[in-house]
Amino acid sequence: MPQLLNLTPAAWQLWCFATVALTLVMALETDLLQNRIPNVLVLLALLAGLVLNEAGPANGREGMFSYFPGALGGAQALLGALVGLGLFLPLYLAGAMGAGDVKLLAALGAFAGPMEVVGVALCIAASGGVLALAITLLRRKTGVVLANVIRIFDGLLHPGLPGPRFDPATQTVLRMPYALAFALGVAGYGYWRLSGYPALSIF
């Protein structure tokens, strides 16, 4: 598809960041008030990422986090969404994360692409870990959290086997909206990349 959005690379990058920021603000609000991230929000963000990367200026296809930003193309945006979905899916299957969080990373992957979404996920996970540790220490619930972590790892190592499993809806002591970790992680990764550091990726 030829470029349909008559934007400069810098303007395109700004639209991408603005759309991601709006998505994360809305996700945080609903996560705080309703303890969920709506499917319609995730779907609209996913579509926006696909459209912006398919119809935006190519400019070498460096992506939204680059000093030389350019649309990745629809195929790479879709692959980014699939990689994002796969990164957090094991945590959902183990009961350590909600489905909305997994789908939100997939939507972010449509913006970032398959290379950058890995770094985004790492920063989100690091932000979530720091927030969880801080809340745990403040509430003095270290023993309960440790037991939950053991259940999560048991679910990852032995999926489908009978035994106690962690249920984030009823057993968590943190009550932390994970959308906050998403917001901090994306902001941190964006700062890292735009400061000139290389992408954090396993590919």
Helices (H), 140-177: 142-157
Q: What is the pLDDT of residue 85?
A: 97
The values of phi and psi at residue 63, to 5°, are: 90, 175
Element (H, E) at 48: helix 39-55
**On the CB side of 192, how many CA atoms lie within 13 Å of its CA?**
15
Residues paired with 70 in a beta bridge: 63
Half-sphere exposure of 181 (CA within 13 A, CB side): 26
Residues in the chain: 203
61 vs 71: CA distance, rounded Å: 5
> How does pLDDT run across 127-169, given as a tens digit for each residue?
988 887 777 777 665 555 556 556 655 655 666 555 555 444 4
Confidence of residue 94 (pLDDT cuts 50, 70, 90): confident
Q: Which is nearest to 32 in space by CA: 180, 145, 181?
A: 180
**In sequence order, what are the residues at sequence separation of 6 or more whose Cβ sits closer than 8 angstroms to the Cβ of residue 91?**
97, 102, 152, 156
pTM comes to 0.82
What are the tens digits of pLDDT across the range 26-41? 999 999 999 899 999 9
Instruction: Give 170's pLDDT tier (boundaries 50, 70, 90).
Output: very low
- Between CA 121 and CA 123 the distance in angstroms is 5
Q: Where are the domains of the chain?
A: 9-194
